[in-house]
Chains A and B, each alone.
Chain A
């Protein structure tokens, strides 16, 4: 038996029937991590003892005939910005080096209750701020498909671990694409649920109004199975939704007949042809061309030809199965990036104020209070985090709130309205997840280059919608390509159903990464 690439369904079935013990699964996963992770670098912390203890408990329960959960025996990795009781949680930052939380995130509690086995904590860009995991304060994570390339980010460790078969599923967080983009780069499924669908209690906050926890898995059915466990209202998160949780697993009917798929032309138009909408009262040009002064950069970097071709094949596969494409317009798309880079840093600058060296985490002592703060934060935060704290602090300065944060929130409303309107004509929106495939380490030197790679994934967070990445092919160079589906609020079932069809039509099948560690 080779359990490392089993799906959740297979794993659970084999544990329940007793063909394999949870202990054996965990030992296999831990061996594989030991073997592979030296090369991949997906994990910041491997909890061997904890994992073995959980496995032993599951085997005891099974022997005693006690009820077993829907994820029983499934090895799961957690992005290291998800708080775990008694297990070091750093959020990829030196400022939290060695911090052992006294409590579990709600998603962790739910996973444990369902029988999942937490094998470790995965690498990420510091506090989730990055798109390549290169901004981790601890280590580099390599893309299992090509070790010279990044796994994406910020949930790069979670994506690489699942992709390389070091665990069956992982959780990430997505603030502007941090689940979907690394999933695309690593050739796996990554789901960002509707804002409020999954409790944020225990997710180290980056940007509170955008952050959402979601699963990274190798199959769509696995994503559904994990979401089934972690979704739902949590009295400890005032922004979590009370809507009942539908059956995500049952949503996977394999059918898309009559499904209306919205193709937003703004996402596909090349930079120089992206036309601005006729605007109502914004007071500035929302979608300036590259030569205009407004934004100072090209908001749409253009899609790499192989990605575009894969997306077109995906659309064709869907229409062959009875889906209907609808041309839609999301006129404020170009404003998503600038709005995001106001809202996210503003909230981050606030959320990161708590790291002052007084109560937990790193402290660099000083004789003066102000000096203590300066030294602690100076030594504890990396350059990207500092950059965003400065951006955010600037945006929230007294007298500038209206011009920046408030205006950015107004843009969010416009983007939300774009989607509301579009969803009157279609059931899902389909776009590339990223303009290109996984890039080389160090390829994106300027922060702006890095930010631009997220241009397709940001709108989803700004509008609070669910979004999913599904692999839809590989390049001639052997790198995975991902397609993104965006859905109506709380319509994860339709996303999963569509994703399931894409998976079986144009997915990666049995192709596995063969880059890092000789997988």
Chain B
């Protein structure tokens, strides 16, 4: 398997190199905001509509048109700003960023430059069982560009995406590995979905990433020459592209070369990057405040509204689930991977009597409920079993009304029919038998009917104990209380 060998060689080479060299990575992530209409005009924002159907004179950059900012985008951006602990500018400004390209109808993109909406925030990564905080330099608002496609010698422009509101999230250069870069993306993806500000579907380009990568000798303070990687639009690509670039740079420097400051395009199929033509990047953007748009003012009332609506964030819940509910790291991480899961778990905890059942609740939810949902390809939000119903079922197991094994059957039926667990239990007559006299009667009968096995057990064949448990369960259609059955059987068999 040459591929695997190659991979291993690469791995070892990387490990050796990383003893000497420290990668420094900063990410620029574009997130489309889930507004109904575009950032500066009334056209709808949708994915997959016929080319150029979501345009209007503003989107087309027609003479005489003017942008008017969609305040809905501001609220979404502010949610992210607050959730990342950013400083929010009371007055920020839109600026024009100029470059000629057919996907840019006005010849400039409306963005923010020296007065961005948010600065100095952070994103919390869950690395192993711990939280690592990555600082953000800024989050600013801007409009998306259209899309160019090339068919042979002919180029087509689709402006459906042009003008869709974006936030650009710029991390500080303090990500130190390709894994961490991918984890940053995951954390941001989780966060924007958590806040319901974006679907963040990477396949639809709703979340896109550029990475700035450089290396320096460990212990060095100064940053090395960086390259910018573009077009890394999946979590896996981020990791692969960044890792590839780190290796490339170390190899250049170790062989006496120098890293050139350039923009490189990641080709996921080839698994390598190539420099973009310098013509395409030799831009002086000539930023200046957009005179068509007044300063963006964020007042106390607006901030108050945002703060009131802000949900508890994933990192906070991750810690709460472990500390307050005693969950294992993996379970806690799974629950906070999706707002719907975490909200369901919280609803389950709220519905459930007592507060010492965290692990049991997580178990039932993650194993039984998620198992059933996954089998049908459903999301937690589509669950036919409300949290209160699942809790009621777990109560029946906890108080001994039914056994755990029966509980799973009852769950399956509740899931299918929606009938209340207790009703199913009663209809099926599967209440656990915890009555001593009743159990004695069954045990007496079972032991009397199997004298040889009883003798064998007495003679030291321990495995026969399981046989008797099985017989009791068979006689009671599984309803016998398992721990009582064991206790009584031991007494009856005399050992």
Contact = CB atoms under 8 A, between A and B. Distances in A.
Contact of B292 (A83, A103, A239): A239
Contact of B108 (A82, A91, A207, A350): A350
Interface stretch (A65-73, A150-158, A197-205, A479-487): A197-205
B291 A238 contact: no
Contacts of B157: 358
Interface in B85-125: 96, 98, 100-102, 105-108
A353 B106 contact: yes
Contact of B100 (A91, A202, A239, A373): A373
A370 interface: yes
Interface in A62-85: 81-83
Given A105-B64, A208-B291, A208-B292, A397 B286 contact: yes
Nearest to B290: A208
Nearest to B41: A236
A353 B108 contact: yes
A346 interface: yes
B66 interface: yes
A360 interface: yes
B292 A238 contact: yes
A358 B60 CA distance: 10
Contacts of B102: 356, 358, 369
Nearest to A357: B102
B64 A83 contact: yes
Contacts of B100: 353, 356, 370, 373
B69 interface: yes
A398 B286 contact: yes
B294 interface: yes
Contacts of B65: 201-202
B283 to A, nearest CB: 10
Instruction: Assign chain B's interface to a size class.
Output: 20 to 34
Interface stretch (A94-102, A247-255, A293-301, A312-320): A94-102
Interface string A315-356: 000000000000000000000000000000011011011111
Given A238-B292, A239-B294, A353-B98, A360 B62 contact: yes
Contacts of A397: 284, 286
Interface string B272-305: 0000000100001111100111100000000000
A349 B98 CA distance: 10
Interface in A35-68: none
Contacts of A405: 288
Instruction: Assign chain A's interface to a size class.
Output: 35 or more
Contact of B288 (A83, A101, A350, A358): A350
A82 B63 CA distance: 9
**Main SS of the interface on chain A?**
loop
A312 to B, nearest CB: 38
B386 interface: no
B253 interface: no
A397 B62 CA distance: 25
A237 B293 CA distance: 9
B61 to A, nearest CB: 4
Given A208-B291, A396-B288, A203 B64 contact: yes
A493 to B, nearest CB: 25
Contact of A398 (B57, B63, B284, B293): B284
A201 B66 contact: yes
A76 B106 CA distance: 31
A89 interface: yes
B99 to A, nearest CB: 9
A393 interface: yes
A281 to B, nearest CB: 22
A354 B68 contact: no
Contact of B287 (A102, A237, A401): A401
Given A359-B105, A373-B100, A354 B286 contact: no
Given A347-B291, A369-B102, A99 B286 contact: no
A209 interface: yes
B67 interface: yes
Contacts of A398: 284-287
A442 interface: no
Contact of A353 (B66, B69, B107, B292): B107
Nearest to B94: A238
Contacts of A356: 100, 102, 107
Nearest to B69: A238
A239 B68 CA distance: 9
B68 A89 contact: no
Contacts of A352: 107
A82 B107 CA distance: 21
A235 interface: yes
Contacts of B63: 83, 89, 91, 96, 99, 101, 204-205, 354
Contacts of A207: 291
Nearest to A211: B291
B292 A370 contact: no
Nearest to A210: B291
Contacts of B67: 238
Interface string B48-68: 000000000100111111111
A407 to B, nearest CB: 13
A466 to B, nearest CB: 19
A370 B287 CA distance: 21
Contact of B68 (A203, A235, A369): A235
B155 to A, nearest CB: 8
B463 to A, nearest CB: 80
A205 to B, nearest CB: 7
Nearest to A209: B291
Give the most central of B96, B279, B285, B292: most A CB within 10 Å: B292
Give the most central of A202, A237, A238: most B CB within 10 Å: A238
B66 A238 contact: yes
Contacts of B286: 349-350, 393, 396-398
A193 B107 CA distance: 29
B161 to A, nearest CB: 15
Nearest to B286: A396
B293 A202 contact: no
B255 to A, nearest CB: 34
A401 B61 CA distance: 25
A398 B283 CA distance: 10
A283 B61 CA distance: 40
Contacts of A393: 286
A212 B130 CA distance: 59
B107 A238 contact: no
Nearest to B100: A373
B60 A202 contact: no
Contacts of B285: 398
Nearest to A394: B286
Contacts of A236: 66, 68
A370 B284 contact: no
Contacts of A353: 98, 100, 106-108
B61 A202 contact: no
A101 B68 contact: no
Contacts of A208: 291-292
A354 B106 contact: yes
Interface in B456-486: none
Contacts of B108: 350, 353
Contacts of B69: 238
A162 to B, nearest CB: 22
A200 B288 contact: no
7 contacts: A82-B64, A102-B62, A201-B66, A352-B107, A353-B108, A359-B60, A360-B62
Given A201-B65, A355-B107, A373-B100, 16 more contacts: A102-B57, A103-B57, A205-B292, A238-B68, A238-B294, A350-B96, A350-B107, A354-B61, A356-B107, A359-B61, A359-B62, A369-B101, A369-B155, A370-B100, A370-B279, A396-B286
Interface of B: 57, 60-69, 96, 98, 100-102, 105-108, 155, 157, 279, 284-288, 291-294
Closest CB pairs A-B (n = 4): A353-B107, A209-B291, A396-B286, A208-B291
